[in-house]
Amino acid sequence: MNKRFISSFNNRENRFQSESTEIVLKNKITFRKKRKISVIIPVYNRGEFLNQCLDTVESQSLKEIEIICIDDGSTDNSLEIIKKHAEKDRRIKVISQDNIGVGLTRNKGIEESNSEFICFMDPDDYYPSNDVLEVLYSAAKQNGALIAGGSWSEDCKGEIKTEFTGIYSKYVFEKDGFVDYDDYQFDYGYHRFIYNRKMIIKNNVYFPPYRRFQDPPFFVKAMIIAGSFYAVKKQSYRYRFGHQNIEWEKSELCEGLIRGLIDNLHLSSNNNLAILHKITVDRINNDYSSVLINAVRGEEGTELLDLLRYANECVNWKLLSSVIPEVNNDHCLSLLVRVLDKNNIAAH
């Protein structure tokens, strides 16, 4: 097991559990025997897609699973849908709570799980075939892997995408076998993997309490600890998009985004992951630049600007120079430069 990990968030004592959490339905069966996999599904207002999601989980050929559905304060019919499925499938555990956010809800699912491996499903996504979990579990067990995962696929309003380019080519595995995370260095697509639960609990790998970008730090942290994972070519997850409406004007979303990016800057810097460090800097400068610029200009822009300044301080320019030779310690985030130039403010 890779011991280079240096923690950057999530004290074990602070699980961010809601005091108003109430278990509204538990099946009569008691899971005395540990299951092979727990599928953790946080649910918030996804009634439109939830039936398909649950159908693909329940129909998995690997039957020794538990399905932990946590309704995070939905105001639509999501909870009713979950209850109906639970009445027919005794493997489903239903929990209802006041809204605390998806990351903390996943943490509760980890704590509630009773299995050898855990994995995560979003309520608007689904498994592309009914043998996904069986293939991943067999791959992990037969090869002694702490983490095993397959290829990513996307569903945009019925159009399926299975090929990706650039850094996103890492969504797809061309062959089965072990991959060292030092060689992989990617931060997206954690849903397509199963994780050894004992490893997660022992090493305090939990989702930070951010409203956005809480999953990449979890994924990177788990990968650093495991050191390697077993990859399979098979598509193991289908991510649905095109229907979401992210309200980026809410400052808490942008704050979470920046904090999650900062976590990954720390993790990549502390573990000499230069490629991941560059990817994270590029996400700040390019992928999320328009969102962050607009947010900094908003009512709570001062606090977000301070976070961006801190993000700039977290960039390891020496590490970055190993993949971008022209970089030196006098550089700063180009996004920060653009923001500060608007107000004629010094970057440092």
User: Which domains, ranges and CATH numbers included, belong to the chain?
Assistant: 22-241 (3.90.550.10), 251-343 (no CATH)
Q: What is the predicted pLDDT for the residue at 4?
A: 44
Q: How large is the angle between the packed helices 301-314 and 334-343, nearest 10 degrees?
A: 140
CA-CA distance, 133 to 226, in Å (whole number)? Answer: 20
Task: Using DSSP, state whether 251 is helix, strand or coil.
Answer: helix
Q: What is the predicted pLDDT for the residue at 6?
A: 39
In one-letter notation, the amino acid at residue 122 is D
What separation in angstroms does the CA of 19 have from each of 96, 97, 132, 139?
A: 12, 9, 36, 39
Q: What is the predicted pLDDT for the residue at 338?
A: 77
pLDDT-above-70 percentage for the chain: 86
Mean pLDDT of 130-134: 98
- Confidence label for 341 from pLDDT (cuts 50, 70 and 90): low
Structure tokens given for 38: 């727990």
Per-residue pLDDT at 342 exceeds 70: no
pLDDT, tens only, 278-308: 999 999 999 999 999 888 887 677 889 999 9
**279-305 exposure pattern, b = at least 16 Cβ within 10 A, e = fewer:** bbbebbbeebbebbeebbeeeebeebb
Q: What is the predicted pLDDT for the residue at 329?
A: 60
Per-residue pLDDT at 143 exceeds 80: yes
Q: Phi-psi category of 167—alpha, beta or left, where left has phi over 0 and alpha has psi -120 to 50? A: alpha
The label of the residue with tokens 């499938």 reads 89
Q: What is the predicted pLDDT for the residue at 28?
A: 42
Whole-number mean pLDDT of the chain?
A: 89
What separation in angstroms does the CA of 269 have from each of 8, 263, 283, 317, 322?
A: 11, 10, 16, 10, 12
Mean pLDDT of 330-336: 73
Using DSSP bridges, classify how beta strands 177-180 and 22-25 pair: parallel, antiparallel or unpaired.
unpaired
Using DSSP bridges, classify how beta strands 115-120 and 193-196 pair: parallel, antiparallel or unpaired.
antiparallel
Q: What is the predicted pLDDT for the residue at 7?
A: 40
- Confidence label for 53 from pLDDT (cuts 50, 70 and 90): very high
pLDDT, tens only, 3-42: 444 344 444 334 433 333 334 444 444 445 799 999 999 9
Using DSSP bridges, classify how beta strands 65-72 and 35-43 pair: parallel, antiparallel or unpaired.
parallel
Helices (H) and strands (E) in the chain, counts: 13, 10
Mean pLDDT lowest for which of 1-15, 77-91, 154-168, 187-201?
Answer: 1-15
Q: What is the predicted pLDDT for the residue at 328?
A: 63
pLDDT, tens only, 63-74: 999 999 999 999
Q: What is the predicted pLDDT for the residue at 330?
A: 56
Mean pLDDT of 161-180: 98
- Confidence label for 340 from pLDDT (cuts 50, 70 and 90): low
- Select from 209, 190, 195, 200 the least CA-distant residue to 256: 209
Mean pLDDT of 114-126: 98
